[in-house]
Structure 1
Amino acid sequence: MNASSMNASARAADVLAVAPLLNCLLREAAAPVGEEPVAGRAVHRLRRSGQLLRFRTGHRPSAPELRTGGTWRPLRHHDLVALVAQEMRAATGRTNAALTAEMAASRAAVEALLAARAHGTPPGDPWLRSEQALVMGHPFHPAPKSRSGGGPPQSWLRYAPEAYARFPLVLLGVREDAVVDDGDTRALDALGQAPPGHRLLPVHPWQFALAGQLPAVRAALADGRLVRLGDTPWEARATSSVRTVHVRTGPQRPDLFLKFSLEVQITNDVRRIRRHELSAVRRTDPLVAAAFRAMDGPAAWLRERGHRTVRGLEETFPVLVRDGLDGHLLPGTTAVLAAALPEGFDGSPLDRLTDPLPWWSAYLAHVVPPVLEAYDRHGVAVECHLQNTLIAVDGDGTPVQAVFRDTEGAKVIPVTPRARAWERLAYCLVVNNLTEIAGVLAHRFPRSAGALWPAARREVERCAKERGFAGAEELLAAPTVPAKANLLSRWIDADGTEPRYLPVPNPLALTSPADPPS
């Protein structure tokens, strides 16, 4: 790569890495000065230092500038990291050198991913292109692309979905007296041939490289509880969550997803599947699946049928078996990952729109009712954020079905208190999902922006009036909804399962019946 292209990659990486960090700072540590942006720029005052921060508005804020000595000083990503650290120290009285290092590492990862994509070949399948499109990542996280514990980029790019990763899985044989099986794991036995007295266990190669030298793993390989059988003759495809892969072992065989432990911190957690999470999934998934089966509509749930792991290494080499897309998508439809719609990808249905309102209405009609029905009638709050939501579109690119996944984040009442379940549902549905999709549509079609949230309110009102969903009425009445404070949560080292939230204005709420749509 020549110097010019390297500079272009660095500049592009800075733009992509600045946006989520700036989003965090604006949401969690600043307040607007004045009511309307001037010439496409808005000014916010940082709450602790009182400094003025100016930025270019849009679906993603950009080009931040700090008021210094009577002039506006442009901020690169490293400048913004320093400013964020200053504000968070003042707000919390704590430092966090590890998180500031992650912010820098996240930006470096983006640059590495851009370089890899420039020389890679995207998959032909538009659904897989959408799964592998999330170069910027979570739009409200300070370090969305950091891979802490995973080594330098050259050690993990081969496994990165953003770099179009495809790779064989490691196959282990587990001695039968050391196998821990729960649920339906028959799909694992079809992935290869285990020696007599053993069961087959696929392992993510990145996890095997990270954990293979642990004393407990070496002991299991030495005493015969584990046997290294080689690699699969076929390749798995990395999906957006990094540790979950898509598998199709032959053209006439059904597909499936496999979710693994990964000793790497991605966003808020080390992505290790804990023992209690394995047990919780087996209790929760049948309840979520039953809720979706009971619905009168096309919405689908990708079941997590069972898991297999190794006694004594339960959290090191577990594998969850999740339904594939076969058998769930309506005939003639194509799935796309909802999280890829704001980022954009080749083949996005948004690229074909001339009027966003019919598309948006169809999206709302297929996403909102099943989420509210699962909550209201079955006591299940599905984690319907953008990365867990797939949208099936017809030949015209119009949404005709929603498919949801990932039992780990689902909350079941009364196991989870109703208030906590509601908090998670409102955040995932309104703040993470609908706000992001509405934002990209407003950016692409500014003349239609004022009609987007009134359409969303009408859909929620319909759920309240025609279906009697109390959850819909609660959404409409709430003046604020909870937004996840990822910057604060990470800065104070809050447990990933206990994040901090802050209230933000509810875009579905009208303050009075006379208020005009906005």
Structure 2
Amino acid sequence: MDRVDLLPPPADASVAHRADAYAAAPLLNCLLREVAERLPEPGDRPVHRLPGGRLLRVRGDRRPAEPEVRTADGWQRIGHTELVKLAAEVLTRHTGLSNHELPAEMIDSRDAVAALLTARDRATPPDDPYLRSEQSLVTGHPHHPAPKARGGGPVAGWLPYAPEAHARFPLALLGVREDAVVEEGDTAALDALGEAPPGYRLLPAHPWQLDLVSCADAFEDGRLIRLGTTGFQTWPTAAIRTVYAPERDLFLKFSLDVRITNDIRRLWRHDLLRLRRTDEAAANALPAGPGPAVWLSDRGYRTADFAFEELAVLVRDGLRDRVRPGTTPLLAAALVEGFEGNPLDTAEDPAAWWEAYLGAVVPPALAAFADHGVVLEAHLQNTLVAVDADGMPVQALFRDAEGVKLLPEVPRAAGWERLVYCLVVNHLWEVAAALAERHPGFDPWPAARRELSRHDLPEIRALLGSPTLPGKTNLLLRWTGADGADARYLPLPNPLTGA
């Protein structure tokens, strides 16, 4: 088997070459999924027709590489810059719309990868395999045109806070005058981070966010004061704006006024105001304690009334009382990306490993939907999987109330489509492909079909018989300027039907 889409570029390749390869793969995935037509031509490199008739071929499948376009003189290799130009021409023709912002983001994403690779070559990864998994996503979202864009700002402004660079840093501590504090839920963990003077409440802040927003008036009139930094380091997780403090076993999620993938990553007012409702619904849908599946509760938030979204901080459960004893939690997205200690690299029996994985992840997500009307955003980045000493999956942990949808607030059909996309297309499909690459000849889909068919949901029969699955169109969403939360799907061939 051609292993180009399993292995990243060699470490001894130039940073520029490696950055081009990392950045090209997700952009190619988007082009090939959303606007291209695969042609039935023989050969080891699939050929695709783009809108307007140009032909593009690539090497590999899951992580396409080495793009070439057909010219009068034959196939010509193109780099990332030429690929961005080609994408812009194709999308303008396909949609009838121009977009100058997204190509700049694509270039910014590639340049960010180069900065991250340089920093990783000099950095020491964390010893903890969980933290190592959270900080492994150099490629990032495999079907987004600019997954590593950081808002176009100077590298020095964001690199100290980048999980992919193995960053760790203390949090800024602010004091908010008591009459300006807004909070809901359990925020007691915030008061233990330091000491606020009389008349003030403690409010931790992400230092990058403080550089992005202006609170000069509040500092001048005393509504806000600076109290130094925490006496301990925090580790940014894959979500970038969510950090983990191992000493306190505490996750904190902040606003970050930067576009990352599809959205400006603020804690938006409407999401904060519904946080308790969605979090309690998700907690009720999953067992408490270190059971077979766990919800990491977003148990409360605190902010200032004069900067409600900009300075908001959300308190999330830690891991120690949630993870099964003797197991190690790992980010599901890291299994796909690859990292030192990845159990996919050591699984001797792929069928047994995959069945255990399906048994940990699928039942709780389906039960939450069927029994509680809770649509978990069970994609790769919101799922942790705990493995035992042999690397076998034994537990799933789900997180992020911000992405949870509730029935009947969303129609059942829309909720089911979202769950299928997050759980099957974004999550299981990617893990299945990564596992199959390591074990040529292994077909993961019969086991997935068996696991899904065990669940008595009226939608399951239709899912197993449907010729297509919903694939989110991140490239077209960004090109047409749609709202980041406005998911639009196109039909993808359903591997479950042929299983």
**In which range does the TM-score fall when normalised by the shorter chain?**
over 0.9
Are residue 31 (structure 1) and residue 23 (structure 2) matched? no
- 1:406-431 deviations in Å (ceiling 9; x for gaps): 01111100111212211211100111
Equivalent position to 2:260, from 266, 288, 310: 266
Cα 1:22/1:5, change in 2 over 3 Å: closer
Q: Are 1:367 and 2:361 an aligned pair?
A: yes
Deviation at 1:303, TM superposition (A): 0.3
SS in 1 for 2:274: helix
The SS at the match of 2:175 is: strand
Paired residue for 1:102? 105
Q: Secondary structure at the match of 2:257?
A: coil
1:19 and 2:19 matched: no
Contact persistence 2:290–2:323 (CA under 8 A): no
Say whether the 8 Å CA contact 2:465–2:497 is kept in structure 1: yes
In structure 2, what is the Cα distance between the partners aligned to 1:416 and 1:19?
34
Residues 366-385 of structure 1: pairs in structure 2 closer than 5 A: 366-385=360-379
Tell me whether 1:346 sits opposite 2:340 in the alignment: yes
Q: Describe the superposition over 1:117-167 as per-residue Cα deviations: whole angstroms up to 9, x where unpaired.
A: 000010000010000000011000000000115x21122110000000100
* Structure-1 separation of matches of 2:299 and 2:218: 27
Is 1:208 aligned to 2:202, yes or no? no
Match of residue 401 from structure 1? 395
Match of 2:114 in 1: 111
* TM superposition score normalised by structure 2: 0.96
**Which region of structure 1 is more displaced relative to structure 2, 135-144 or 350-359?**
350-359
CA distance in 1, matches of 2:322, 2:123: 30
Separation (CA, whole Å) in 2 of partners of 1:59 and 1:491: 23
Match of 2:422 in 1: 428
| 1:9 aligned partner | 15
| Shift of residue 70, structure 1, vs aligned partner | 4.3
Native 8 Å contact 1:136 1:145 kept in 2: yes
- Aligned residues of 2:134 and 2:237 also touching (Cα < 8 A): yes
User: What residue in structure 1 maps to residue 154 of structure 2?
Assistant: 152
Residue identity opposite 1:218 in structure 2: A
Matches of 2:339 and 2:430, distance apart in 1: 16
Gaps of 5+ in 2: 1-9
Q: What TM-score, normalized to structure 1?
A: 0.92
In 2, the alpha carbon distance for the partners of 1:196 and 1:434 equals 51
Alignment of 1:473 onto 2:461? yes
Q: Aligned partners of 1:320 and 1:262: how far apart in 2?
A: 12
Name the SS for the 1:142 alignment partner: coil
RMSD: 1.7
- Say whether the 8 Å CA contact 1:134–1:343 is kept in structure 2: yes
1:166 aligned counterpart, secondary structure: coil
Counterpart among 270, 290, 302 of residue 276 in structure 1: 270
CA contact (8 A) 1:373 1:469 kept: no
SS at match of 2:57: strand
Work out the CA distance in 1 between the residues paired with 2:264 and 2:290.
Answer: 38
Native 8 Å contact 2:81 2:107 kept in 1? yes
For residues 295 and 206 of structure 1, the distance between their equivalents in structure 2, rounded to whole angstroms, comes to 34
Unmatched 5+ stretches in structure 1: 511-516
Q: Which of 223, 226, 229 does residue 225 from structure 1 map onto?
A: 223
- Over residues 238-295 of structure 1, what are the superposed CA-to-partner deviations in whole Å (9 max), with x where a residue is unaligned? 00000000013x4xx5x11100000111000110111111012222110110010289
Q: Is the CA contact (8 Å cut-off) linking 2:115 and 2:155 kept in structure 1?
A: yes
For 1:74-473, what aligned pairs fall within 5 Å after superposition? 74-148=77-151, 151-211=153-213, 214=214, 217-248=215-246, 250=247, 253=248, 255-293=249-287, 298-448=292-442, 451-463=443-455, 468-473=456-461
1:297 Cα shift? 5.4
Distance 1:89 1:60, change over 3 A: same
Give 3-state SS (helix, strand or coil) of 2:454's partner: helix
CA contact (8 A) 1:295 1:370 kept: no
What is the Cα deviation at residue 59 of structure 1? 2.6
Q: Which moved more, 1:322-331 or 1:288-297?
A: 288-297
When the two structures are aligned, how many residues end up with a matched partner? 490
- Do residues 507 (structure 1) and 495 (structure 2) align? yes
Q: Which residue of 1 aligns with 2:7?
A: none
Which secondary structure state, in structure 2, belongs to the residue aligned with residue 293 of structure 1? Answer: coil
Report the equivalent of 2:5. Answer: none
2:64 is aligned with 1:61: yes
State whether structure 2 residue 75 is matched by structure 1 residue 72: yes
Contact preservation (8 Å) 2:289, 2:322: no
